[in-house]
C-alpha cells in the first residue's frame, strides 16, 4: 500500500529548502551593491581621452560599414579656373575630438601674432576725397566765369552775330547746371531749320559738344597751364588719359592758330636778341598723317653739321625783346633767306639787334638795324649790354618744357613751341590769370575746323613749318 506524506512533512520540507536557498540570495544581493567593486576614478571612461578616441573610432568604422557613403562622380576642373571652395561635409570628413580641438586652439593662441591696433578713422576723409578747390565751388560760378570770358560784352548770336539784347532771350538758364541756352529771334524768324535759332555760349567754339563736367574741364585746363603732362593731369582730374590728351591737343592747336604776329620792337630804344636752337625730334608713328619713309629715329643719333628739319635736329629761331615778349619759329633750316622775312616783320628798322657771330645774321646791318655780335668761339659771351644770354636762357626753359612730353614728333613741334611761347610771355602771371588768358584765346577759335583737324590727324596742315 502507498502511503501519502502528511501535510506536516510537506511544510517541513519546504522550510528546509528555504533555509538552504536564502543565504545564497542574500549573498548575491550584497555582492551586486558593494561599492568596492566600482572601477577606480582614473579609469572612468568619460575621463580617459585615449579610450574615448578608440571607442569613437570603432563606432565610426562600424557606422561606415553599415552605411557606406556613395562615391561622388569626379568633375573635371576647367584650366586656370579656381575651384569653388565647397564646405567640407561633416559626414565625409573626420571632425576633431573636442579636447584635441581645444589643445590646438590653445597652441594657436600662444603662437598667433597679436592683431594690429585699430587705426582711428581719418577725420578728413571726406575732404581728401575731393580733387581740390574746384570741388568746393558751385558749377554755376564756374559757368559764369566761362560765359564772361566768352562774351565780355554780353551775349552774341554765333549764327548771325546779333548783339541786341531785345532779340536774344535766355530760354533755359538751368541748362547744364548753369551754362544756359539762348534763342535768337532773328534766326528763329528767318527759319533756322536746325535748332530754331538756339545756342549756348560754347556754340561754335572748340568746346562745343564737350561732355566732361565743368569742374573737371577746369582742372584739366589748369593742368595744361601749369605745364603738366596729360597723363598726370588725367590722374588728378580722374578722367581717362585720352580725354585730357584730346583736350590738350585742342588747346595747343588753338594757341598755335591765334599766336601773335605783332612786331615786338618798334624803334631804336628797343633791344632785341636773336638766336637759334636745335631740338632733336623725329617722326613718330603716323604723326600728322605723314608716312615714315626712312628708319625710325634712334636714341643717341649724332649727325654732323647744322641741324635741319631733314636731319631730325629741327632748328627753332627766336627773337626776344628785353623786358618784353618772345617770338619763336620752327624752321626747315636756318639761312639768311629763311629768317630775313621774319626779322623784318617782327623788328622795325632802327632797333638794336644783338646776336652771336653766325654768318646768317650779317645782313642785319645792311637792312638798317643797329647790329652787334658777341664771338662765342673766342670765349666772349657779353660785352657791356651786347649779349644774347636772355635768349640762351629761354632755350634752357624750352628744352625743359619739351622734355616734359618725352619725345615729341617734329610734325607737332611747332605746336609745342607755340605753347611755350604763349606761357613764356605770361610767365609773370599767376595760374588763374594764365587760365583766363588761355580760355579767352581758345574760345575765339573756330572750333569746328580745329576739331576736324585734331581728330583727323591733319594737324600738319594746321601748323606748317616755316621756310
Cβ proximity to Zn ion, 167 vs 405, nearer residue? 167
**Residue from 147, 149, 155, 162 that binds Zn ion (CB under 5 A)?**
162
| Least Cβ distance, residue 190 to Zn ion (angstroms) | 8
- 317 phi/psi in degrees, rounded to 5: -100, 135
CA distance 430 to 142: 18
| Least Cβ distance, residue 170 to Zn ion (angstroms) | 14
| Least Cβ distance, residue 187 to Zn ion (angstroms) | 3
Applying CB under 5 A, the site for Zn ion has a residue count of 7
Cβ proximity to Zn ion, 158 vs 414, nearer residue? 158
CA dist 332 → 305, 392, 422 (Å): 14, 20, 22
Name which of residues 279 to 298 contact Zn ion (CB under 5 A).
none
Q: Is 413 among the residues that bind Zn ion (CB under 5 A)?
A: no
- Residue 347: partners with Cβ closer than 8 Å, 6 or more residues away: 263, 264, 265, 270, 272, 319, 353, 369
User: How many CA atoms does the CB half-sphere of 63 hold within 13 Å?
Assistant: 10
Which residue bears the cell 639761312? 335
**Residue from 139, 159, 284, 297 that binds Zn ion (CB under 5 A)?**
159
Cβ proximity to Zn ion, 197 vs 315, nearer residue? 197
Name which of residues 178 to 207 contact Zn ion (CB under 5 A).
184, 186-187
Cβ proximity to Zn ion, 188 vs 229, nearer residue? 188
| Least Cβ distance, residue 199 to Zn ion (angstroms) | 8
CA distance 261 to 257: 11
| Least Cβ distance, residue 150 to Zn ion (angstroms) | 16
For helices 241-257 and 214-225, give the axis angle rounded to 10 degrees: 60
| Least Cβ distance, residue 195 to Zn ion (angstroms) | 11
H or E stretch at 275: strand 271-280
What residues does 198 pair with on adjacent strands?
Answer: 183
CA dihedral in degrees (355, 361, 362, 367; nearest 10)? -100
Interface segment toward Zn ion; rule CB under 5 A; list 109-117, 122-130, 149-157, 273-281: 149-157
| Least Cβ distance, residue 160 to Zn ion (angstroms) | 3
H or E stretch at 63: helix 49-66
Q: Is 160 among the residues that bind Zn ion (CB under 5 A)?
A: yes
Q: Is 255 among the residues that bind Zn ion (CB under 5 A)?
A: no
Interface segment toward Zn ion; rule CB under 5 A; list 104-112, 117-125, 155-163, 403-411: 155-163
H or E stretch at 182: strand 181-184
Q: Supply 96's cell numbers.
A: 576633431
**Residue from 134, 142, 157, 207 that binds Zn ion (CB under 5 A)?**
157
- By the criterion CB under 5 A, which residues form the site for Zn ion? 157, 159-160, 162, 184, 186-187
Amino acid at each position: 500500500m502507498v502511503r501519502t506524506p502528511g501535510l506536516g512533512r510537506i511544510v517541513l520540507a519546504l522550510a528546509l529548502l528555504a533555509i538552504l536557498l536564502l543565504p545564497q540570495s542574500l549573498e548575491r544581493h550584497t555582492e551586486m551593491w558593494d561599492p568596492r567593486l566600482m572601477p577606480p576614478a582614473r579609469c572612468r571612461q568619460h575621463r580617459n581621452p585615449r579610450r574615448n578616441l578608440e571607442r569613437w573610432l570603432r563606432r565610426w568604422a562600424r557606422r561606415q560599414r553599415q552605411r557606406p557613403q556613395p562615391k561622388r562622380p569626379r568633375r573635371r576642373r576647367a584650366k586656370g579656373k579656381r575651384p569653388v571652395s565647397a564646405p567640407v561635409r561633416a559626414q565625409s570628413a573626420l571632425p576633431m575630438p573636442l579636447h584635441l580641438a581645444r589643445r590646438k586652439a590653445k597652441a594657436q593662441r600662444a603662437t598667433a601674432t597679436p592683431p594690429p591696433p585699430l587705426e582711428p578713422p581719418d577725420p578728413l576723409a571726406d575732404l581728401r576725397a575731393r580733387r581740390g578747390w574746384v570741388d568746393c565751388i558751385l558749377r554755376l560760378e564756374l559757368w559764369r566765369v566761362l560765359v564772361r570770358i566768352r562774351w565780355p560784352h554780353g551775349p552774341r548770336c554765333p549764327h548771325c552775330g546779333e548783339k541786341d539784347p531785345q532779340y536774344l532771350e535766355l530760354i533755359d538758364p538751368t541748362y547744364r547746371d548753369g551754362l544756359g541756352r539762348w534763342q535768337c529771334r532773328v534766326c528763329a524768324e528767318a527759319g533756322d531749320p536746325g535748332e530754331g535759332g538756339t545756342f549756348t555760349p560754347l556754340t561754335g567754339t572748340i568746346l562745343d559738344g564737350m561732355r566732361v563736367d565743368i569742374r573737371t574741364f577746369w582742372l584739366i585746363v589748369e593742368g595744361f597751364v601749369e605745364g603738366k603732362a596729360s597723363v598726370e593731369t588725367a590722374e588728378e582730374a580722374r578722367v581717362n588719359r585720352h580725354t585730357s590728351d584730346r583736350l590738350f591737343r585742342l588747346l595747343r592747336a588753338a594757341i598755335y592758330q591765334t599766336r601773335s604776329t605783332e612786331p615786338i620792337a618798334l624803334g631804336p630804344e628797343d633791344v632785341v636778341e636773336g638766336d637759334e636752337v636745335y631740338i632733336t625730334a623725329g617722326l613718330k608713328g603716323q604723326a600728322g598723317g605723314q608716312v615714315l619713309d626712312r628708319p625710325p629715329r634712334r636714341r643717341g643719333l649724332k649727325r654732323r653739321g647744322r641741324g635741319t628739319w631733314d636731319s631730325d635736329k629741327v632748328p627753332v629761331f627766336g627773337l626776344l625783346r628785353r623786358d618784353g615778349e618772345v617770338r619763336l619759329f620752327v624752321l626747315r633750316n636756318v639761312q639768311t633767306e629763311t629768317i630775313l622775312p621774319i626779322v623784318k616783320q617782327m623788328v622795325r628798322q632802327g632797333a638794336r639787334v644783338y646776336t652771336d657771330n653766325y654768318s646768317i645774321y650779317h645782313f642785319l646791318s645792311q637792312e638798317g638795324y643797329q647790329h652787334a655780335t658777341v664771338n662765342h668761339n673766342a670765349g666772349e659771351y657779353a660785352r657791356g649790354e651786347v649779349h644774347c644770354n636772355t635768349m640762351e636762357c629761354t632755350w634752357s626753359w624750352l628744352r625743359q618744357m619739351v622734355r616734359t612730353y618725352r619725345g615729341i614728333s617734329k610734325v607737332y613741334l611747332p605746336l609745342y613751341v607755340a605753347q611755350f611761347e604763349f606761357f613764356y610771355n605770361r610767365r609773370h602771371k599767376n595760374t588763374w590769370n594764365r587760365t583766363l588768358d588761355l580760355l579767352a584765346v581758345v574760345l575765339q577759335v573756330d572750333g569746328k575746323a580745329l576739331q576736324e583737324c585734331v581728330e583727323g590727324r591733319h594737324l600738319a596742315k594746321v601748323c606748317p613749318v616755316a621756310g
